[in-house]
Amino acid sequence: MSRLKSVAGLVAFSLFFVVFTVAQKAKPIPYDHNPAAGRFYDINGFKMYTEVYGEGPPVLMIHGNNGDMSAFSKNVPYFAQHYKVILADSRSQGRSLDPDHPLTFEMMADDYAALLDAMHIDSAYVLGWSDGGINALLMAIRHPEKVKKLVATGANLWVGPDPFAPGLWDQMEHAYTTGLTKTYTTPKEKNDRKLFLLDWWEPHITLPQLRTIQAPSLIMAGDHDVISLPHTLVIYQNLPHANLWIVPNSGHPTVIEHADEVNKKVDEFFTQPFKDFKPNE
């Protein structure tokens, strides 16, 4: 009888262990707060927070304004099966705190190039969304040896009404003007204002600069993105080696709203031979 009880207890424990293990595996990964994958690097005067998943060719994913690496939570599981996915919080965002310094897109592009150096990675595929797309373009301009191929979705080259959907620049101008009369006291308020001003004053990428990019490029935007279709076409048309994909039924967050399609399309782009890319006429 005692043996039966022991067997029953062992079976019950085994079932509990299996259920517990499955539950643990099913638990979402806490991107941006995962000690098992996280590390800080000393980069250009601040501590840059990173998390790495998977093994294989390196893919650097760069998030948008006032965001963090969790923006790619729907993309990492797919790519981590075949790539070494590098996530990093941009300067002054997420866990990469840098409250006391100015901020430019050029600084952030240099930060990401320095991060690859610190990780002993010669070059990487780069996927950038929104401000991250701007960073991807600037990395390819300022550090061409670091970028194997780049994907930029929802990026803009300059500021003003033209790059944006109708009415959006007017909203930003109102927020800028209103903000001039406010007093910012807490570190978060000051940092949020700094990040807003980044998109108000920048970027300033010229078409001649864009034409220096030799990395094969996939330019993306949603068909009702906050970045206008004509501006996205300007980016595509001025890259020497580029493909264009306007994501149907999508707004600005293409990597979130259409993660499955984006994952497959970007993966195909990364794995295509260079000979498949023909220079734009």
Residue-range domains of the chain with CATH:
32-275 (3.40.50.1820)
pLDDT above 90 (res 262): yes
Give the pLDDT band (50/70/90) at residue 186. Answer: very high
pLDDT above 50 (res 264): yes
Distance of CA 62 to the CA centre of its chain: 2
Surface-to-core class of residue 185, CB atoms within 10 Å of its CB (0-12 exposed, 13-18 middle, 19+ buried): exposed
| Tokens describing residue 95 | 């866990």
What's the whole-number average pLDDT of the chain? 90
The overall pTM is greater than 0.75: yes
Q: Which long-range contacts (CB under 8 A, 24 or more apart) does 35-39 make?
A: none
Q: What does the pLDDT look like over 55-98, one tens digit per residue?
A: 999 999 999 999 999 999 999 999 999 999 999 999 999 999 98
Nearest to 203 by CA among 179, 238, 225, 235: 235
Give the pLDDT band (50/70/90) at residue 276. Answer: low
Distance of CA 92 to the CA centre of its chain: 15
pLDDT at 99: 73
